[in-house]
Amino acid sequence: MRRIVIIGAGQAGLVLALGLQKRGYDVTVVAEKTADEVRYGRLISNQCVFHPALERERELGINLWDDEVQPVEEVAFNAAGGPAGTEPAIAWRQKFDHPAQSVDQRVKVSDWMTLFEAQGGEIRHHKVTPNDLDAYAAEFELVIVAAGRGPQFDALFPRNPEFSPYAEPQRAIGIAYVRTKHPMPPGLIFNLGPHGENFILPVLSVQGKVHGIGFFGIPGGPMDVWHDVTDIDQHLEIGVELLRAHFPWNKGILEEAEPAGPLEMLHGAITPTVRHPVGKLPSGKLVLAMGDTAVTNDPVGGQGANMAARAAKSYQEAILAQEDRDFDEKFMHDAFAKYWAVAQHATAFNNALLAPPPEHVLATLDTAQRVPEVAHRFAHLFENPVGYTGWLTDREVSMRYLQEATARA
């Protein structure tokens, strides 16, 4: 039986571990934290997971929350700038063909760790350093590093400047989970303004059913406000002011909200980074990066967890196809290339969302108000960003499509 170790128990590592376990592989996971430390720890993400990634979880039988989670049935898109300032300049709503879900990653990760162990999988608990990897490479046939974003494995998996247009974070992020008495739509709210974005969505969290409210502010601007925030009440007060000032049509949501708990907030800033995915250890042995360790997107486009699930599927297919052959350098590059064939579009879409929208994208968002086909196509980019490239990357193609779709309507 092939022996594989996955460093990191997150959306990427655990979906792969559970998938390989189901196929009879001897998989070991190395996790920095125990299931309880994750479950009772701080907020990690806002994790809107769309249909393709959910389907993968269903294929593996690890969709443990389908009966409890509030489905994310639609997206309500608003762009600021209406004449009185109190209403959006652009507003449309679009139902997803298949609902998305946001299950708190603390719930997912801790439940999946428990399931993996209950099914006979081994989890070792410690924080792996680059120096530890040679010992793993000696013990296992394949070492996959799925330890999330951040600089800890920078030297092993250097930034690839060709696909990493940003060297600094492009958004100051503040997320909180709240309970609100305000009437809520059955899905995701995406508010776009000149100083940043705001997302609101239903979440099944460790605290039960809540709403996640995320602000993504352009650094140095009026939505870059989280530096000195240390408690959740302060976070909520600032959130109320941000909604009033930038997205006032939704201000009632936070005015009528209370925090879901003292740990239910997160502040940060992420540099979107694509890395060289194959790392060489001092012994000469190779290790393969996966998930955020290989490709980190800013969360503004809601792509990271979706792509982590995608990576797990692609890597699993590559591992199965390798049969008894060595997991050599070619295998590693091919496994990543298969994933990147899709992930590059998610990264391109996400990076584009961080830049001011060009005229043809604004025209698309505007036309979506009147032409349902356009709203449908744009909304479904979140679940399948492959359609972004060659459409919204090309002004002429976009404008011609708008004319044709408008004529059809």
**E-strand spans in 109-186?**
122-125, 142-145, 172-180
Q: Name the amino acid, one letter, at 127.
A: K
- Of the candidate spans 24-32, 55-63, 359-367, 384-392, the one that interacts with ligand FAD by CB under 6 A turns out to be 24-32
Q: According to CB under 6 A, which one of 3, 23, 42, 127 is a site residue for ligand FAD?
A: 127
- Of the candidate spans 46-54, 87-95, 218-226, 232-240, the one that interacts with ligand FAD by CB under 6 A turns out to be 46-54
> Would you state the structure tokens that stand for residue 400, as one six-digit string?
């011609």
Q: According to CB under 6 A, which one of 2, 5, 6, 10 is a site residue for ligand FAD?
A: 10
Site for ligand FAD in 307-366 (CB under 6 A): 308
Q: According to CB under 6 A, which one of 116, 292, 354, 381 is a site residue for ligand FAD?
A: 292
Q: According to CB under 6 A, which one of 180, 303, 351, 364 is a site residue for ligand FAD?
A: 303
Minimum distance, C-beta of residue 380 to ligand FAD, in the bound complex (Å): 15
b/e burial code for range 311-340 (CB count within 10 A of at least 16 → b): bbbbbbebbeebeeeebeeebbbebbebbb
| Residues facing 78 on adjacent strands | 91, 191
Minimum distance, C-beta of residue 200 to ligand FAD, in the bound complex (Å): 11
Minimum distance, C-beta of residue 140 to ligand FAD, in the bound complex (Å): 15
- Of the candidate spans 55-63, 110-118, 297-305, 361-369, the one that interacts with ligand FAD by CB under 6 A turns out to be 297-305
Query: How far is CA 113 from its chain centroid?
Result: 20
> Would you state the structure tokens that stand for residue 307, as one six-digit string?
């792509």
Minimum distance, C-beta of residue 287 to ligand FAD, in the bound complex (Å): 13
The Cα–Cα gap between 120 and 105 comes to: 22
Q: Does 147 bind ligand FAD (CB under 6 A)?
A: yes
3-state secondary structure of 242: helix
Minimum distance, C-beta of residue 367 to ligand FAD, in the bound complex (Å): 26
Radius of gyration for the alpha carbons in the chain, expressed in angstroms and rounded = 21
User: Is residue 1 within 8 Å of 95, Cβ to Cβ?
Assistant: no
> Would you state the structure tokens that stand for residue 180, as one six-digit string?
């609100």
Q: Which is nearer to ligand FAD, 147 or 371 (CB)?
A: 147
Q: Which is nearer to ligand FAD, 9 or 79 (CB)?
A: 9
The Cα–Cα gap between 212 and 176 comes to: 6
Give me the 211-250 binding string for ligand FAD, x by CB under 6 A, dash otherwise: ----------------------------------------
- Of the candidate spans 82-90, 298-306, 361-369, 371-379, the one that interacts with ligand FAD by CB under 6 A turns out to be 298-306
DSSP state of 28: E
| Residues facing 92 on adjacent strands | 77
Size of the site for ligand FAD (CB under 6 A): 36
- Cβ-based neighbours of 149, under 8 Å, separated by 6 or more: 270, 273, 292, 293, 296
Residues that bind ligand FAD (CB under 6 A): 7-13, 30-33, 45-49, 105, 109, 127-128, 146-148, 152, 173, 175, 266, 291-292, 299, 302-306, 308
